[in-house]
Structure 1
Amino acid sequence: MKKIWLLTLLVCTLLSCSDSNNSSKNPNIPNYSVSAYINTNLPAYNKLLYPSNPVFVPNYGAKGLIVMMTGPGTYTAFDAACPNQPLNSCTAMTIDGINAVCSCDKSTYSLYTGIGDKEYPMKQYRVEASGSVIHVYN
């Protein structure tokens, strides 16, 4: 009997796991390959040395990247495309403090979580930091 309960618990645990990749579920933002290396020693990206100072990085993803340090050695990176609008209908999201604002519907998204008040959250990318270089990729 114990083996059955243990097996049931193991199966339930395995089925509840996910790869934390919700970005492929958004029909508005294509899955472009992203591999950006950001050097925080450069003046354009120096703000990333301090928490809560987001930076826009053009020419990556669908509409560019918005990268922000959330704590010591931890970063978030999101696509600057409006997640709840067709790709060609809006320009890149703008930064307003620790939020991103969609140019079409003025909806606001947290740069800590990517969550806003609409159906889809911002498309998030993986981030690795090593010394003065931040690698954003998918």
Structure 2
Amino acid sequence: MAPLLCLAVTLTTACNSASDDAQPQIPLAAVSEVLFLTDQQNSNLRFDNGAVYHKGGVRGLIIVRQSASSYLAFDRNCPYQPLDTCARLKIDPFLRLYDPCCQSQFSFQGQPQAGPATRPLRQYNTALSGNTLTITN
């Protein structure tokens, strides 16, 4: 029985020390947003790799057009040190998303490309019906 107890203590200690080194997760937020693609403020979504800001999520949303029938929606909260007040993504006109606070850069598919961030951006579900894009989690 003693070897089994020793194994349980070792595993618990190993798991606790591993979680201490992990970055905190982006807080959860309920997302249920509707975008009308014909609205002037969404004109960047009329071409591939166009991106716009929208309300919702933890620190706002970034919507990216992949093609005429495919859109991606990401939380603007950077996954690297997401609790920092400045961890908010911006759209760079040179086809990337970036966090000016930690200098992390992400592709328009939400994957980390440079900087300290190693996690992808939090992505939300999108559904297109005519000229209406619905974003949910």
TM-score, length-scaled by structure 1: 0.74
Q: 2: CA distance between counterparts of 1:125 and 1:28?
A: 15
Partner of 2:96: 99
**Equivalent pairs: percent with the same residue?**
30
Q: 1:43-122 maps to which residues of 2 (within 5 A)?
A: 43-58=40-55, 60-97=56-93, 98-112=95-109, 114-116=110-112, 117=114, 118-122=117-121
Distance apart, 1:106 and its partner CA: 1.1
Q: 2: CA distance between counterparts of 1:99 and 1:27?
A: 24
Q: Is the 8 A contact 2:71 2:126 kept in 1?
A: yes
Distance apart, 1:89 and its partner CA: 2.9
SS in 2 for 1:68: strand
Partner of 1:15: none
Distance apart, 1:99 and its partner CA: 1.2
Distance apart, 1:120 and its partner CA: 1.2
Q: Is the 8 A contact 1:89 1:104 kept in 2?
A: no
Q: Which amino acid aligns with 2:62?
A: I
For structure 2, which runs of at least 5 residues remain unmatched after alignment?
Answer: 1-22
- Bigger Rg over Cα: 2
The one-character-per-residue Cα deviations of 1:6-43 (angstroms, maximum 9, x if unpaired) are xxxxxxxxxxxxxxxxxxxx733111010110001111
Q: Which amino acid aligns with 1:129?
A: L
Q: 2: CA distance between counterparts of 1:131 and 1:69?
A: 14
Q: Which amino acid aligns with 2:103?
A: K
Partner of 1:33: 30
Question: RMSD of the alignment, in Å?
Answer: 1.5
Distance apart, 1:91 and its partner CA: 4.7
Q: 2: CA distance between counterparts of 1:38 and 1:82?
A: 22
Q: 1: CA distance between counterparts of 2:130 and 2:82?
A: 37
Distance apart, 1:105 and its partner CA: 1.0
Q: Is the 8 A contact 2:24 2:83 kept in 1?
A: no
Q: Which amino acid aligns with 2:122?
A: K
Q: 2: CA distance between counterparts of 1:69 and 1:53?
A: 6
Aligned length: 111
Q: Is the 8 A contact 2:87 2:102 kept in 1?
A: no
Q: Is the 8 A contact 1:101 1:109 kept in 2?
A: yes
